[in-house]
């Protein structure tokens, strides 16, 4: 029986990240490798410290190159199929930190073509509306405009297409079928699409006419694309991109599902007003007991509680305070209502600031676009 599925277009079941490491052939993020990062960054970002980013490919190689003076660039992206939710921000937050710490250039890909091909209900106009809104979220994260370029697949196709063709010539239908599970009935655009997601993983090498290492922060659902890139890039004379993988911020329904825009009531969008956040969080599943009395007596279970996971992944960056939240849940001291109210306050504080930066971003979108 398949317990869980992770592909770029579907995440189902409770993901066992240890098993996924084996299935995908990833390396675990070990204390040794984190020490190597710390050598350059002084502190470790809480997303690394807490192993929200839990796995990698060739990060050790990338750091060894950096040590030798061979600087890397960053690459990540978004498929604009709807509004941005707070789960999407997780890879971007680490990317921004890496940009600052390693003074790295970033290519941020907007796969408007992908979403048109994979979501029948979307028109080209609609994906571009979402893309613009999503770009505001990306910019609000605070990326350095002098070091960040947003690639919009459809608008920037003349840059991408010659390179995508080179990838395509090395890629058979049987490989994409095996990696992504396509069927005879899949449209031909879907079959070709991964070639376009590959290109930014070596675009800096193309433009600079010399090999430049690349690091891709992402959540683990996107890894299959880059298994293909890592296979093809050396055949084109480029380095394999290094990757660092994050876990999924769960849905408000429970930790067995990832936060997904397709279920708006169980996810927090970056544009949600405070009342909506309150409503969604108050309705969230928790690791609490059936009655307050039982909870006081036996305590709750943070390990199965999305509310706790939101603190862990995002809203309590102080390890000591996080421990206190965990302990006072387990001991029955804090009840779920109280814990939820605290979280609502934290989310709304974050969103107020994010929404302010989003509005400011409207004035500087142009600075991030490719000329």
Footprint of ligand TYM (CB under 6 A): 8, 75-79, 87-88, 90-91, 109, 111, 114, 197, 216, 218-219, 221-222, 246, 248-249, 258-259
| CA–CA distance, 322 with 137 (Å, rounded to integer) | 26
| CA–CA distance, 244 with 74 (Å, rounded to integer) | 11
For ligand TYM, the closer of residues 89 and 289 by Cβ is 89
Least distance (Å) from ligand TYM to the CB of residue 10? 11
Residue 225 near residue 8 (C-beta atoms within 8 A): yes
For ligand TYM, the closer of residues 190 and 211 by Cβ is 190
Find how far residue 368's CA is from the centre of its chain. 20
* DSSP output for 288-309: --SSHHHHHHH---GGG-HHHH
Least distance (Å) from ligand TYM to the CB of residue 97? 15
Least distance (Å) from ligand TYM to the CB of residue 23? 16
Least distance (Å) from ligand TYM to the CB of residue 89? 8
Residue 254 near residue 307 (C-beta atoms within 8 A): no
| CA–CA distance, 219 with 89 (Å, rounded to integer) | 10
Least distance (Å) from ligand TYM to the CB of residue 100? 19
For ligand TYM, the closer of residues 81 and 286 by Cβ is 81
| CA–CA distance, 189 with 181 (Å, rounded to integer) | 15
For ligand TYM, the closer of residues 79 and 300 by Cβ is 79
When CB distances to ligand TYM are compared, the closest residue is 79
Least distance (Å) from ligand TYM to the CB of residue 110? 8
Quote the crossing angle between the two packed helices 124-140 and 336-361, to the nearest 10°.
Answer: 100
For ligand TYM, the closer of residues 76 and 270 by Cβ is 76
Q: 229: closest CA among 260, 201, 261?
A: 201
- CA–CA distance from 78 to each of 104, 133, 158, 290 (Å)? 19, 11, 20, 39
For ligand TYM, the closer of residues 114 and 326 by Cβ is 114
For ligand TYM, the closer of residues 79 and 306 by Cβ is 79
The owner of tokens 């009395």 is: 293
Question: Could you tell me what percentage of the chain is helix, strand and coil, using 3-state DSSP and rounding each to the nearest 5?
Answer: 55, 15, 30
Least distance (Å) from ligand TYM to the CB of residue 337? 25
């Amino acid at each position: 029986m398949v317990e869980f599925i992770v592909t770029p277009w579907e995440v189902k079941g409770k993901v066992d990240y240890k098993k996924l490491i084996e299935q995908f052939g990833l390396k675990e993020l070990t204390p040794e490798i984190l020490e190597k990062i710390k050598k350059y960054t002084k502190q470790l970002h809480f997303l690394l410290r807490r192993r929200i980013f839990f796995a990698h490919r060739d990060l050790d190689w990338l750091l060894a190159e950096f040590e030798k003076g061979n600087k890397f660039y960053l690459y990540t992206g978004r498929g604009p199929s709807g509004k941005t939710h707070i789960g999407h921000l997780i890879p971007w937050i680490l990317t921004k930190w890496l940009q600052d710490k390693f003074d790295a250039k970033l290519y941020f890909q907007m796969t408007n073509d992908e979403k048109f091909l994979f979501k029948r209900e979307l028109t080209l106009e609609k994906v571009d509306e979402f893309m613009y809104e999503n770009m505001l979220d990306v910019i609000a994260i605070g990326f350095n405009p002098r070091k960040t370029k947003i690639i919009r697949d459809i608008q920037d196709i003349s840059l991408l297409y010659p390179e995508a063709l080179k990838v395509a010539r090395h890629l058979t239908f049987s490989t994409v079928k095996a990696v992504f599970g396509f069927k005879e009935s899949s449209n031909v655009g879907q079959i070709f699409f991964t070639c376009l997601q590959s290109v930014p993983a070596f675009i800096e090498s193309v433009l600079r006419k010399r090999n430049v290492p690349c690091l891709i922060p992402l959540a683990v659902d996107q890894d299959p694309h880059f298994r293909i890139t890592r296979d093809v890039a050396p055949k084109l004379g480029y380095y394999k991109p290094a990757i660092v993988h994050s876990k999924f911020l769960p849905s408000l329904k429970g930790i067995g599902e990832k936060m997904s825009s397709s279920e708006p009531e169980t996810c927090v969008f970056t544009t949600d007003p405070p009342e909506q956040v309150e409503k969604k969080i108050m309705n969230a599943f928790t690791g609490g007991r059936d009655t307050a009395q039982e909870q006081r007596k036996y305590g709750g279970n943070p390990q199965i509680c999305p509310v706790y996971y939101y603190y862990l992944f995002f809203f309590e960056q102080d390890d000591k305070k996080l421990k206190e939240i965990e302990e006072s849940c387990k001991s029955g001291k804090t009840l779920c209502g109280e814990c939820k109210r605290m979280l609502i306050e934290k989310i709304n504080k974050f969103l107020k600031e994010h929404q302010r930066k989003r509005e400011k971003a409207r004035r500087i979108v142009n600075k991030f676009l490719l000329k």
